[in-house]
């Protein structure tokens, strides 16, 4: 058993001083992953060579030692702590005795799988002030391995190759325009000697694309844009010319969206790269395209040639998307039999609530069934492939619509699994509602998200419709893709659940997600929960299974951003095996900072001005009214800086916490603006305190700034 926070301080200090990698001992293997191994990954059931296990991305392990009959003997074999208290979403790789995993801030670790000894750590040194460009957490969802290197997409848009033996950086290439609001959180894929990756930023006014880069040099081989650019300029290819006919207005001025931030699969049989695309930008279609066109290729599944990136086919899951319905949920390739003939199909449980089955070679729609609550359409026309959108769903600035699935989605980025033994797809499912209403007086915000919707619409709507559904629950669902029906589902919990792993032993492993601190196993056929353990934190990343010295193991990266910026969250790598005896240390006692704001002395006009500025510049990171939902950013209701305008300005204007993710806003705000902002926050904190009179404040916290010390993350 090993805890990497207890490694020799001199080794860690050397990493801080010299840059990226800390190496305890040479790695016992060097990611010897070749094209033939990737193509034949299914013949190496003891390995986990790519983020989805194989090119088909089924998240299925054929290993059979752990079964419903003996899973009660499953115990912790070893664990290793990370140096971060943020959310962990990376799927690990297991290659020839070594586990590789990416963590928050785009860091990468390598562990000896025998005992968990850390072999090295790599830190790309992503600038902390890059955090405001991130939509949904300072996270990374996975890495790729090829010919002795580990490949990483960093938050600030670099594609990086790391020597798998030493952890030292081999090369890095900038894949995005750094002047725009791009980022990368997804896992690269290795396809025919190329590293294929997209990017994020659909909420921030960017133009989406997917690119291929030479695995040896990092040089770009090809790029495929997902939305057309300015029609006054030459189109990059015929596909963009075709797509431009489905757009109106001046969409290019707002970027268009369609980012490829996950969901990339290689179909080796047809030599096609299949990928999903993100939402339009802004969300509200009336702002980006008043004509109401389909807006290709947003919210679509697209097929391109692996060698050239040339367009082959597409299927648009949500034409004219205005609900943030990315088609970025994981895609898997499955062989099915129809009328005694085998057929390779794509399966995707989409964010829009529909489960799609498409012909992999042609994109022909074979099935489209709702797998959760859906009210934006009343079905799909199987002849045209188009959804029958309900009239009420296309909201405007006057009338709100209680959307299902809401923008949270029926399914997000979390991995699904397919078992060829049961024929079922195991989906991290969500039932969610969100009130949609257009935003009056929309003004483009160059420093933040541009959604074009009224984020406060829910308060008014629920007051007028007290019985309207408003829940957001997550659960695992076993789905029969041929019959188009649910076979069983697990118990629901608040918010999203974790990614899924299915095994040949008849088990399905999944984390409980953000709210349920549980890692569990279900019987794949019946849905009976047959095992669980308390990881002391939430689990959202997908587990993997591998074999070492003839024994099957299950590994998962755990940790979610805590409900408080100052709290520990126990981010770790956990590895389980039959008769494992390791024990996690007891959680530490934690006292949250007090809600103790100064008295409000500002005028109502100044508070209102601060409210407007907050919505424009601060909401995206610090949450509604300053009450941050997770530990990624501080809860401004309890920051000591409410008591000091000078200290407040040192952070907001002076940038003294830029290394921790709080960039200076001196180019956008003046001293009078920050005074209004602070007044608004003081007003909100006092209002919150009035509504919590029975809660006695704990002792005051000592850190004298809003971005108190986080340990290793704070020292970036």
Coil, strand or helix at 494: strand
pLDDT recorded at residue 60:
98
Q: Highest-confidence range of 242-246, 439-443, 630-634, by mean pLDDT?
A: 242-246
Among 262, 267, 294, 324, the active-site one is 324
Listed in order, the ranges of the chain carrying CATH 1.10.760.10 are 604-715
324 is catalytic: yes
pLDDT at 232: 96
pLDDT of residue 18: 34
> Whole-number mean pLDDT of the chain?
90
Residue 299 near residue 316, CB atoms below 8 Å: yes
pLDDT band at 5 (very low <50, low <70, confident <90, very high): very low
Q: Indicate the pTM of the whole model.
A: 0.87
Encode 446-478 in three state secondary structure. Answer: CCCCCCCECCCHHHHHHHHCCCCCCCEEEEEEE
CA atoms within 13 A on the CB side of 631: 29
Q: Which uninterrupted H or E stretch holds 264?
A: strand 264-267
Q: In the numeric block, which tokens belong to residue 207?
A: 């133009």
pLDDT, residue 133, reads 77
Residue 136, pLDDT score: 82
CA separation for the pair 97, 449 (Å, rounded): 43
Structure confidence at residue 701 (pLDDT): 35
Q: What is the pLDDT of residue 634?
A: 82
pLDDT category of residue 698 using cuts at 50, 70 and 90: very low
Confidence of residue 623 (pLDDT cuts 50, 70, 90): confident
Higher per-residue pLDDT: 658 or 544: 544
Between CA 138 and CA 132 the distance in angstroms is 10
Categorize the per-residue pLDDT at 708 as very low, low, confident or very high, splitting at 50, 70 and 90: very low
| pLDDT at residue number 630 | 57
The confidence score (pLDDT) of residue 2 equals 41
For residue 714, name the pLDDT band (cuts at 50, 70, 90). Answer: very low
Is the pLDDT reported for residue 682 higher than 50?
yes
Per-residue model confidence (pLDDT) at position 629: 55
Span 474-489, pLDDT tens digits: 999 999 999 999 999 9
DSSP states of 273-313: EEEE---EESSSHHHH-TT----TTTTEEEEEETTT--EEE
Write out pLDDT tens, residues 341-391: 899 999 999 999 999 999 999 999 999 999 999 999 999 999 999 999 999
d(CA 453, CA 457): 9
pLDDT in tens, 132-162: 778 888 899 999 999 999 999 999 999 999 9
Alpha-carbon dihedral sign for residues 43, 46, 49, 51: positive
End-to-end CA distance of the chain: 27
pLDDT at 456 over 50: yes
Per-residue pLDDT tens over the stretch 185-234: 999 999 999 999 999 999 998 999 999 999 999 999 999 999 999 999 99
Token reading at 394 = 């296309």
For residue 631, the model assigns a pLDDT of 62
The more confident residue out of 408 and 449 is 408
Check: CB of residue 493 under 8 Å from CB of residue 536.
Answer: no
Local confidence band at 585 (pLDDT 50, 70, 90 cut-offs) = very high
**pLDDT band at residue 564, thresholds of 50, 70 and 90?**
confident
pLDDT over 70 for what percent of the chain? 91
The CATH code that applies to domain 604-715 is 1.10.760.10
Residue 696 pLDDT: 43
Give pLDDT, residue 363: 98
For the structural domain made of 186-388, what CATH number should be given? 2.40.128.630
What secondary structure does DSSP assign to 89-151, as a single string? Answer: -PBPEEETTEEEEEEGGGEEEEEETTT--EEEEE-----GGGGGG-SS-S---B-EEETTEEE
All CATH 2.40.128.630 domain ranges in the chain, comma separated? 186-388
Q: In the predicted model, is pLDDT for residue 309 greater than 70?
A: yes
> Phi first, then psi: what are they for 52, rounded to 5°?
-95, 5
- Number of Cβ within a 10 Å radius of residue 672: 10
> Which tens digits make up the pLDDT trace of 390-435?
999 999 999 999 999 999 999 999 999 999 999 999 999 999 999 9
> What confidence category does residue 81 fall into, taking pLDDT thresholds of 50, 70 and 90?
very high
pLDDT above 50 for 8: no
Q: In this predicted model, which residue has the larger pLDDT, 556 or 127?
A: 556
What local confidence, expressed as pLDDT, does residue 146 receive? 98
């Amino acid at each position: 058993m090993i805890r990497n926070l207890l490694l020799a301080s001199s080794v860690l200090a050397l990493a801080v001083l010299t840059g990226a990698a800390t190496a305890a001992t040479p790695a016992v293997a060097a990611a010897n992953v070749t094209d033939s191994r990737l193509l034949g990954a299914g013949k190496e059931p003891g390995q986990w060579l790519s983020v989805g296990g194989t090119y088909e991305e089924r998240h299925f392990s054929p290993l059979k030692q752990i079964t419903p009959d003996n899973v009660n003997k499953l115990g912790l074999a070893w664990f290793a702590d990370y140096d971060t208290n943020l959310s962990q979403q990376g799927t690990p790789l297991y290659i020839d005795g070594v586990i590789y995993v990416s963590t928050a801030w785009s860091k990468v670790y390598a562990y000896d799988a025998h005992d968990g000894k850390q072999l090295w750590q790599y830190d790309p040194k992503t600038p902390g002030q890059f955090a405001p460009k991130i939509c949904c957490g300072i996270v990374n969802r996975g890495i790729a391995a090829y010919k002795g290197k580990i490949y990483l997409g960093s938050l600030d848009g670099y594609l990086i190759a790391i020597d798998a033996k030493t952890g030292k950086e081999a090369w890095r290439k900038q894949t995005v325009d750094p002047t725009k609001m791009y980022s990368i959180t997804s896992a690269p894929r290795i396809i025919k000697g190329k590293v294929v990756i997209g990017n994020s930023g659909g909420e921030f006014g960017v133009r989406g694309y997917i690119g291929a880069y030479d695995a040896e040099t990092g040089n770009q081989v090809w790029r495929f844009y997902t939305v057309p650019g300015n029609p006054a300029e030459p189109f990059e290819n015929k596909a963009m010319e075709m797509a431009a006919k489905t757009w109106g207005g001046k969409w290019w001025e707002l970027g268009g969206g369609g980012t490829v931030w996950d969901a990339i699969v290689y179909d080796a049989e047809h030599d096609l790269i299949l990928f999903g695309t993100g939402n339009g930008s802004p969300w509200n279609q009336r702002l980006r395209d008043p004509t109401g066109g389909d807006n290709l290729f947003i919210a679509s599944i697209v097929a391109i040639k692996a060698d050239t990136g040339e367009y082959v086919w597409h299927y648009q899951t949500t034409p004219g998307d205005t609900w943030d319905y990315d088609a970025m949920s994981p895609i898997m390739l499955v062989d099915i039999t129809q009328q005694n003939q085998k057929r390779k199909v794509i399966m995707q449980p989409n964010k829009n609530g529909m489960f799609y089955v498409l012909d992999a070679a042609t994109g022909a729609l074979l099935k489209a069934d709702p797998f959760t609550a859906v009210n934006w359409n009343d079905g799909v026309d199987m002849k045209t492939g188009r959804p029958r959108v309900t009239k009420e769903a296309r909201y405007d600035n006057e009338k709100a619509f209680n959307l299902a699935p809401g923008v949270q989605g029926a399914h997000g980025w979390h991995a699904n699994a397919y078992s060829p033994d049961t024929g079922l797809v195991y989906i991290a499912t969500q039932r969610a509602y969100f009130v949609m209403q257009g935003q009056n007086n929309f003004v483009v915000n160059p420093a933040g998200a541009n959604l074009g919707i009224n984020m406060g619409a829910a308060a008014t709507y629920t007051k007028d419709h007290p019985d309207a559904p408003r829940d957001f629950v997550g659960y695992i669902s076993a789905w029969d893709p041929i019959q188009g029906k649910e076979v069983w589902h697990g118990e629901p919990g608040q918010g999203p659940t974790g990614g899924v792993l299915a095994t040949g032993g008849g088990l399905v492993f999944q984390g409980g997600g953000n709210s349920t601190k549980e890692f569990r196993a279900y019987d794949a056929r019946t849905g009976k929960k047959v095992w669980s353990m308390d990881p002391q934190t939430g689990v959202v990343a997908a587990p993997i299974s591998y074999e070492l010295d003839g024994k099957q193991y299950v590994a998962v990266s755990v940790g979610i951003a805590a409900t408080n910026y100052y709290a520990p969250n126990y981010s770790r790598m956990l590895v389980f095996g039959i008769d494992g005896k390791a024990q996690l240390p007891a959680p530490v006692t934690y006292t949250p900072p007090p809600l103790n704001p100064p008295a409000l002395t500002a005028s109502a006009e100044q508070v209102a001005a601060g409210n407007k500025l907050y919505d424009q510049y601060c909401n995206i990171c610090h949450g509604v009214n300053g009450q941050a939902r997770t530990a990624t950013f501080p809860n401004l209701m309890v920051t000591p800086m409410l008591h000091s305008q000078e200290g407040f300005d040192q952070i907001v204007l002076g940038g003294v916490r830029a290394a921790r993710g709080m960039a200076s806003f001196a180019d956008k705000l003046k001293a009078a603006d920050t005074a209004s902002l602070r007044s608004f926050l003081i007003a909100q904190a006092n209002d919150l305190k009035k509504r919590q009179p029975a809660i006695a404040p704990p002792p005051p916290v000592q850190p004298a700034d809003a971005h108190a010390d986080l340990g290793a993350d704070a020292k970036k």
